Structures are given as C-alpha cells and as structure tokens.
Chains A and B, each alone.
Chain A
Amino acid sequence: MSSRPELQAPPEIFYNDAESRKYTSSSRIMEIQAKLSERALELLALPDDGVPRLMLDIGCGSGLSGETLSDSGHQWIGLDISQSMLNVALEREVEGDLLLADMGQGLGLRPGVIDGAISISAVQWLCNADKKSHEPRLRLKAFFGSLYRCLARGARAVLQVYPENIAQRELILGFAMRAGFAGGVVVDYPHSSKSRKEYLVLTCGPPSVSTALPSGKNEDGEDWSDEDSEDEENQTVCISERHRPRKKLKLTKKTKGRQWVLNKKEQKRRKGDVVPADSKYTARKRKARF
C-alpha cells in the first residue's frame, strides 16, 4: 500500500478516532508539526510589533499547529474536515475556535478579516477526488477564491504542502495564482529527500516589494545545520588519500573459502541433491595463471 495517506482514504475517514489519537500521541509527529508551524509563522512575516493577530489554521487537525500560534500570542480559528481530529483538539483544550468544514467547499468567512493563514500538510488532499461530486479543480478554485476573499489586503497565507509530483504542485500553484495571489513556492532543504519541505507563500493584493519571496533554508547546500552534517563530514575522503581505499579493497577482497563450500555441499546433501564427494581438491586454490 502507498505510504501517502491521501491515496488510502478520504481525510474524514482516514483520520478516524484511532488514527487521530495515534497522530497526536506520536512525539515525532508532534515535533515535526511544531517545526513546520514555526517555519510557516516565520514565513508569514507578520509585522514585529507584538500585537496579536487573527489567524486562520486550515486543516488544523488536533491543534498541533494552532498551539504554535497560541504560543506566539495570536488568536486563531481552525478548521478541519475530520470530526475525530477535532475531538482530540477539544480534549487537548486548544485555545482557538474549531470549525468542522471542508475547505474544498470554500471558507464561510467574511471578506477581508483574517490577518494571516497557515496550513500544515493539508492542501494536497484537495487534489484527490474522494467522492463522485468532487472535482479537484473546482475544489481548488473554491478554496483559493474564498481564501483570497477572507484575507485582509497585504496579508499572507503560508501553506505547507506535500505535492505528489511536479504536476500536482503546478496545479495547486496555478489555482492560487488564478485566484489573484502573488507569491510562489519556498523550498527548505531542497537537496535532502527527508527534510525537504515545500511552502506555498501567497500574498493577497497587488505585487509589491513586500511580496518578494523569502529564500528557503539551505538552498545553496551549505551550512547544513541538521544532525546529518557530522556523518557527512566523516564520509568525505581527503585528496591525499584518494587511492588508498581502492588498493585496500583489492587486498581484502573476500573469497568464499573452503569452509563455505563444504557447508554449501552439506546443505545440498541434506536436501537430497546429488553432490560430488569431498576431497582434498574441494575448493582448493587455483594457480595464479588461471
């Protein structure tokens, strides 16, 4: 089965009671979610004046990302399609208000009221048609259209997505642009398959200086600050020693040996195969000219 949850079941069914609990009790997922939300908040580039803003968390799930918003003092409204996830969020007593809603049907919010929107690993779900009535293009259009309307002028939306392929990324970005957003994709750690993360950074309103895209983390492949860095350093070979490993490889090249052959023959015998008897010639060393 595919490892992508989008391909397994619709979100409201995939995130059932058991899965929601599992999701929220895994410390690894919690850490990743917190990191992603912090980065998304950083990309939102809210003015640094200490005034709390009204934020929107699209696909808030159990409120892991909302917690980051609360920690920075913001008020937020979260929406998610999975009742089980929201139940977990209620249990955890998150500070934002929670709405059970399908983002593909558009957000029922008044125009121009939201100061910023984040979404962690949610928007790629829109690319799937889980019901007969679902048409991904229409749903993306409804989502981005209503998101554009409810955001205040100049506000940003940062959507962290896991697109399945390039076409899917283009599709999502295309509909965002068509809705009127300016912006693009910011890729963090583009050279790493594991920690590579993509963020759609969208700005509401006409293009201006403030809509310039921030650069992704570690885009040029230098000052890699992850824990992998040490391992990579050890793996590099100094130029002066360049030839040594190859030589060593030749010397220590292992042959299977006499004992291995004897074991193998014994194994075959036990299976009932016809095997020549062992002798002093079995697996002997050949002459060099051979």
Chain B
Amino acid sequence: MRLLTHNMLSSNIKGVSNGFPLRLDVENSVSKEVEFNPDFLRNMFSKIDWKALVDAARSMGYAELPEEAPDSSMLDSDEFLKKFHHALLELHLDEGALICPETGRRFPVNKA
C-alpha cells in the first residue's frame, strides 16, 4: 500500500470521532519505481495532510521530507518534488498493519 492511500484513509469505526491519521505498524516495506509526474503531485499537494505523510514516511524509514509543511513555492523545485514523489507513490507498505488512533484496532496489510 502506498502512502498516498494511507493519507486518504481514516478509521470509520462507529463512535470514533477522529479516525485520522491511522498509525503505521511496519513489518516490511518496499520501494517500487513509478513514473514521475509533477502535474499530479501539484494537484495532490493541496489534498495531502502533510504531517501525516511526514510521520508515515518516517516510520517507513524515509526521513528526507521537511518537517514543516512547505509553501506552494516549493512546488516548483524539482528536488522537493522528487522527494515528495518518492514518499507518496514509491514507498509501499508490504506487510504490517494500520492502527486506529482512538480504538487501537489493527487493520492488517498484506500481499495475499
């Protein structure tokens, strides 16, 4: 599962008021190369919850994203976009679980 999907998911268990972001429990992560498309990244940037993405990338062992949410001027920098692209689309959670932040329920992530 890509971090893009992780960033979109929230827990919808009954009674949970804020099911976002889901915590990541990483057992195994892989990186797959995906075609780089700056237009898509610029389009997605406004929808991404930056803090959740940074935290998720950290727990996957990728710490190159800036902590502070970058402003829109950064979107012209190729270097930043490459990092953003890698974190968003290329890092895959292969085995592990998503954990609901309020109830602690585990949603397993696996291949089969």
Report if A24 contacts B (CB, 8 A): no
- A50 near B39 (CB under 8 angstroms)? yes
Q: Could you tell me the distance between the alpha carbons of A112 and B47 in the complex, rounded to whole angstroms?
A: 8
Report if A105 contacts B (CB, 8 A): yes
Among candidates B19, B40, B111, residue contacting A90 with C-beta atoms closer than 8 Å = B111
Interface residues of B in 19-74 (CB under 8 A from A): 19-20, 37, 39-40, 43-44, 47, 49
Interface size of B in residues (CB-CB distance below 8 Å): 22
Q: Which residue of A lies closest to B16 (CB)?
A: A108
- B111 near A97 (CB under 8 angstroms)? no
Q: Which of A53, A97, A106, A112 has the most chain B CB within a 10 Å cutoff? A: A97
- A108 near B12 (CB under 8 angstroms)? yes
- A110 near B20 (CB under 8 angstroms)? yes
Report if A60 contacts B (CB, 8 A): no
Report if A146 contacts B (CB, 8 A): yes
Tell me whether chain A's interface is mostly helix, strand or loop, or mixed. Answer: mixed
- B4 near A106 (CB under 8 angstroms)? no
Question: How far does the Cβ of B44 sit from chain A's closest Cβ, in whole Å?
Answer: 7
Q: Which residue of B lies closest to A95 (CB)?
A: B34
Report if A109 contacts B (CB, 8 A): yes
Interface size of A in residues (CB-CB distance below 8 Å): 24
Q: Give every chain A residue within 8 A of B8 (Cβ-Cβ).
A: 54, 77, 109-110, 113-114, 150
Decide: A113 near B47, CB < 8 A? Known: A50-B39, A105-B12: yes
Please encode chain B, from 93 to 112, with 1 for each CB lying within 8 Å of some chain A CB and 0 for all others: 00000000000000000011
Q: Could you tell me the distance between the alpha carbons of A186 and B49 in the complex, rounded to whole angstroms?
A: 36
Report if A41 contacts B (CB, 8 A): no
Q: Could you tell me the distance between the alpha carbons of A146 and B10 in the complex, rounded to whole angstroms?
A: 12
Interface set of B (CB-CB < 8 Å, partner A): 1-2, 4-5, 7-12, 19-20, 37, 39-40, 43-44, 47, 49, 89, 111-112
13 contacts between A and B (CB under 8 A): A50-B39, A52-B37, A52-B39, A54-B44, A54-B47, A75-B4, A75-B40, A90-B112, A99-B9, A106-B12, A110-B20, A113-B8, A113-B47
Interface set of A (CB-CB < 8 Å, partner B): 50-54, 73, 75, 77, 87, 90, 97, 99, 105-110, 112-114, 146, 150, 152
